Amino acid sequence: MSETGSTVPRRQLGRHLRDLRLQAGMSMPEAARLIERGTTTLQRLETGQTQKIRLLDIRELCSVYDASDVVTAGLLGLAQEASGKCWWHEYGKLIPEDFNVYVGLEAGARRLTSYAPDVVLGLLQAPDYTRELLRLGFPDASSAEIDRRVELKQRRRRILTRKRQPTEMNAVLLECALRRVVGSRKVMAAQLRHLADMSTLPNITLQVLPFSAGIPMGDPIGLFTIVDFDVDRQREPIEPSVVYLENLTGDLYLEQAADVGRYHVAHEAIRRGALDATASRSLLRQIAREYAA
């Protein structure tokens, strides 16, 4: 990683600032004028090219764009994290828990390459499955709060189902994720039918790693997602790929090419050990029938 720090928070900060400006209906020169900065400065902020970020600029932009307190706190946290030589965020510290950094990466992705050993991936979850997980994760939350969180997760799924340039997804689920009961057998039957249906979309490749395949890499591997972005006219990625690792106490983002490459190798090994897409879909429907019996 370069001495100027991780590019992930700078890119995320820029993406959020650009989205806020567009939602506010402002041009870049207009926004720059309101905070008494040059248009070039704002352009560099929005493209993640600024290495020295003034917190005052972020506060003023959030005020101009009428950003919420949570969003403002999240963007200030990103600005402070951007100077680090490696980067992660721990909930409850610089970045508030309700400010989901990964969602910004996900929204800008061209392709998501994922492996999930224990649970169905968020983007592939049916509403009732999500609801049961949230009830366990937030036991004190009201029904209204749970419903809001379910709605937010379902909204994220639109990147896979939109008509124009849907995000590609290459996902492998360990059979454990299909056999581990979340909520009830009825919930599981619906979830597995949902997975089978989603796997018919042309932009989604879903495979199941059966128990009989053993451990393809020799060591167990946890949940991970590789986020790849679009390419420019020279076929170069517009942003470097990132590996996202979700942990109990915080989220880790790996962006060194060697680290990303190792995860690509791991996913390929897992994919080779998995059932092909057709056989995986048949297994999903078979287990769904077992749950419904």
- CATH at 198: 3.30.870
In tens, the pLDDT along 213-233 reads: 999 888 889 999 999 988 777
Alpha-carbon distance of 142 to 149, in angstroms, equals 11
User: 172 and 282, same structural domain?
Assistant: yes
CA distance 113 to 264: 8
* Mean pLDDT value across residues 79-99: 56
Helix axes 69-81, 7-23, angle to 10 degrees: 150
Do residues 107 and 53 share a domain? no
The pLDDT of residue 100: 66
Whether residue 207 lies inside any domain: the answer is yes
162 Cβ partners below 8 Å, 6+ apart?
A: none
- What's the pTM value of the predicted model, to 2 decimals? 0.77
* Residue where a domain stops, chosen among 29, 56, 85: 85
Domain membership of residue 173 as a residue range: 101-292
Q: What per-residue confidence (pLDDT) applies to 4?
A: 41
How many separate domains does the chain show? 2
Give the confidence band of 79 by pLDDT, cuts at 50, 70, 90.
confident
> Is residue 158 domain-shared with residue 274, that is, in the same domain?
yes
The answer to the question of residue 242 being in a domain is yes
Annotate 113-170 with DSSP letters as a single string. EEEESSS--GGG--HHHHHHHHHHH-TT--HHHHHHHHHHHHHHTHHHH-SSSPPEEE
Of 11-15, 137-141, 278-282, where does the model show the most confidence? 278-282
Whether 95 is covered by a domain: the verdict is no
Confidence label for 92 from pLDDT (cuts 50, 70 and 90): very low
Where does the pLDDT of residue 271 fall: very low under 50, low under 70, confident under 90, or very high at 90 and above? very high
| Residue 226 β-bridge partners | 113, 243
Q: Does 113 share its domain with 62?
A: no
The gap from C-alpha 219 to its chain's centroid, in whole angstroms, comes to 25
Residue 1 lies in a domain: no
Tell me, yes or no, whether 199 and 142 share the same domain.
yes
Give residue 52's identity as a one-letter amino acid code.
Answer: K
| Residue 288: per-residue pLDDT | 97
pLDDT at res. 89: 47
CATH for 20:
1.10.260.40
Q: Which residue did the predictor score with more confidence, 251 or 169?
A: 169
Mean pLDDT on 28-48: 91
Mean pLDDT of the chain: 87
Query: Sorting pLDDT into bands at 50, 70 and 90, what band is 1?
Result: very low
Give mean pLDDT, residues 14-27: 91
- Domain-embedded: residue 96: no
pLDDT at site 154 = 87
pLDDT digits (tens, 9 = 90+) for 109-157: 899 999 999 999 999 999 999 999 999 988 998 999 899 889 888 888 9
CB 87 within 8 A of CB 253: yes
pLDDT at 87 over 80: no
